[in-house]
Amino acid sequence: MNLVQAGTGGSPVRVRGTNAADTDGPSARPYPWRTWLVFGLIALTGCERKSTALSGATPASNPPAAAASAGAGASAVAAVPVVATYGYQVVDVRPHDPEAFTQGLVFLQGVLFESTGLNGHSSLRRVDLQTGRVLQKIDVSAQYFAEGMTILDGKIYQLTWQSQKGFVYDLETFALKREFTYTGEGWGLTTDGHSLIMSDGTNQIRFLDPATFRVTRTIQVLDHGAPLPRLNELEYVKGEIYANIWQTQSVARINPADGTVTGMIDFSGLLAPSDYRTNTDVLNGIAYDPAGDRLFVTGKNWPKLFEVRLHPK
Ligand SMILES: [Ca+2]
């Protein structure tokens, strides 16, 4: 919100500058230096607008030029963060339960853990990576719509969508150990090894103490300085937060220190049209294997789980 205001505040600075020159104009004597000053201001304003348009229109395709243009053209305009774009290469394809409405995905010790949603279909699963076979599963009560899930210190944490209730399970037995509450909606969940990191459908990400569930800090996720809402399934990857953006083919790479979007991964075309069925839903589900540096991606009711490698576009 503050940055939106700061952003709109940028414009009036330029307008005020132009207006001051205009106001001075009629009452001022026509000294040549003043005329040149006005021409100079007009030219500078033109440069600012051009560089702003450039960096807004093609931030990813040519970030160095946009950044250089913004820097050279307008010292009064706040720098627009450069957001890199990434494509992907499919390394491997494995089966995924097409009835699993994936809301959370974690890789740990050679297997996948998955949280599935929808009332009456919500579950917690341990899944064989190679075959997609469900090795262990508990159903979540039909009154709950399960959401994001993560694992920390031998415990599994699972959110629900609108019930403001989370569950803590034993990693081995899936026995329910504890329940907790939070305000707002529950969407995605991951961990940096210390905190639970939670999205709620807005552009906010909360960091929670895993023992008390108190919010220790909150970041506002901003893409090119603007709020980026609908952050869904999360994964902590090499010091960054990856976030599925709901109803898109994109995953944002987020700096956990300040919420800045540093990159955008375009997963367009990952699931072939021939793999779509009537209940196939959006891309959702990111898991990372730190030991093997492997990234896994799937979607809600997708028949396939993809191991992908990213590359700059
Ligand atoms: Ca995840």
Each domain of the chain, given as residue ranges in start order, spans 2-82, 85-312
Q: What is the pLDDT of residues 115-141, one digit of tens each?
A: 999 999 999 999 999 999 999 999 999
- Tell me how far the alpha carbon of residue 141 lies from the centroid of ligand 1, in angstroms: 22
As a whole number, mean pLDDT of residues 53-65 equals 34
pLDDT score at 82: 84
pLDDT score at 308: 98
The DSSP string of 30-98 is --HHHHHHHHHHHHHHHHHHHHHHHHHHSTTTSHHHHHHHHHHH-TTSPPPPP-EEEEEEEEEEEE--T
Q: Does the structure show a pLDDT above 90 at 248?
A: yes
Q: What is the pLDDT of residues 28-49, one digit of tens each?
A: 333 344 444 444 444 444 333 3
- Tell me how far the alpha carbon of residue 18 lies from the centroid of ligand 1, in angstroms: 50
pLDDT score at 78: 62
Average pLDDT, the chain: 82
Among 39-53, 70-84, 294-308, name the most confident range: 294-308
- Angle (CA) 41-47-48 rounded to 5° is 90
- Angle (CA) 281-284-290 rounded to 5° is 150
Q: What is the CATH number of domain 85-312?
A: 2.130.10.10
- Tell me how far the alpha carbon of residue 76 lies from the centroid of ligand 1, in angstroms: 40
- Tell me how far the alpha carbon of residue 11 lies from the centroid of ligand 1, in angstroms: 39
Tokens representing 126 are: 């341990």
pLDDT score at 2: 33
